[in-house]
Structure 1
Amino acid sequence: MITYEIYPTRFGEVGIAAGEEGLVALEFHRERPLPIEADWQRRSSPLTDRAARQLQEYFSGERRDFDLPLAPAAPNSSAVSGTHYCAFPTVRPAATASRRRRSAT
């Protein structure tokens, strides 16, 4: 069974879905809502909570790598493979803020 939950982040809400084998989807809700299947259940799981926690750590600069299992993509499934969702750009909040201050002057 796949469960999903919507988590708040400083960049907006993120939908995280996971099954028994690993994560199946991660979407920033505002940009593109999670592709929820009819048999998915909305409730957090230890894995969706762990993914949300690691994502928060990444955004705060405390984490550079993720340690999360990814479920294999099912043939003919509308759920998207996890590899697409693991290519987060480097986030350096302090550097970004100082660049904004310099460009504003």
Structure 2
Amino acid sequence: MTTFSNDLVCTRFSTPLGDMYAAASNQGLVGLWFHDQKHLPAQLAPDLPHPLWRMEDDHPVLTKARDQVREFLAGERRDFDLPLDISAGTPFQRSVWQALLHIPVGKTTTYGALARQLGKTQAMRAVGAAVGRNPLSLAVPCHRVLGQDGSLTGYAGGLTRKTALLTLEGALAGGVHGVPKN
């Protein structure tokens, strides 16, 4: 279970793929979510009149995150250079999220390969659940993980966004209806 402190600061901003929230602690960026994705923290629930976290649009980490997301989605940036705070996850989740950071731009892996890399060959579903709970969309590239057969599965931000991200990175041949590159 991913748990977040109530004393974080956040901002909401627009991107070509939809509005996003970014949240930060004193240690770094804690979260980066599409406003309508699965597993959005309760502090940002859409039925709340406003986020429970304090809005701070000028926070240095949040400003940097917003700029880097926009540069990434414009094709002007390949990697994120942000201090990340992944302390909200369990030790297992943190190990999966750390492994995601090593998937290069334009490349993909599978849930099974990720489980094997972590020495957890029997834990493909647990790895998949941890990938799905990644609180740092884009910065921790969970969109680069595919089903065993190369299918586009399991992205909390939606498969349309996953397709757009992989196409932007050059990991899909032929766009939306393409086959993942080897």
Q: What is the TM-score of this pair, normalised by structure 1?
A: 0.70
Aligned match of 2:63: 49
Q: Where do residues 19-98 of structure 1 align in structure 2 (5 Å cutoff)?
A: 19-32=25-38, 34-35=40-41, 36=43, 40-44=53-57, 45-74=59-88, 83=97, 84=134, 85=136, 86-87=140-141, 88=143, 89-92=165-168
CA contact (8 A) 1:58 1:91 kept: no
Post-superposition offset of 1:49: 1.1
CA contact (8 A) 1:22 1:47 kept: yes
Distance in 2 separating the partners of 1:22 and 1:65: 16
Q: Which runs of 5+ in 2 are unaligned?
A: 1-6, 45-50, 98-133, 144-164, 177-182
Instruction: Give the count of matched residue pairs.
Output: 94
Post-superposition offset of 1:19: 1.0
Q: Which runs of 5+ in 1 are unaligned?
A: 101-105
Paired AA for residue 50 in structure 1? K
Post-superposition offset of 1:71: 1.3
CA contact (8 A) 1:2 1:17 kept: yes
Percent of aligned pairs with the same amino acid: 30
Post-superposition offset of 1:8: 0.5
Paired AA for residue 22 in structure 1? G
What SS does structure 2 have at the residue aligned with 1:15? strand
Q: Which has the higher contact order (CA 8 A, sep 6+)?
A: 1
CA contact (8 A) 1:15 1:33 kept: no
What SS does structure 2 have at the residue aligned with 1:17? strand
What SS does structure 1 have at the residue aligned with 2:29? strand
Post-superposition offset of 1:91: 4.9
Paired AA for residue 56 in structure 2? R
Between Structure 1 and Structure 2, the one with more strand by share is 1
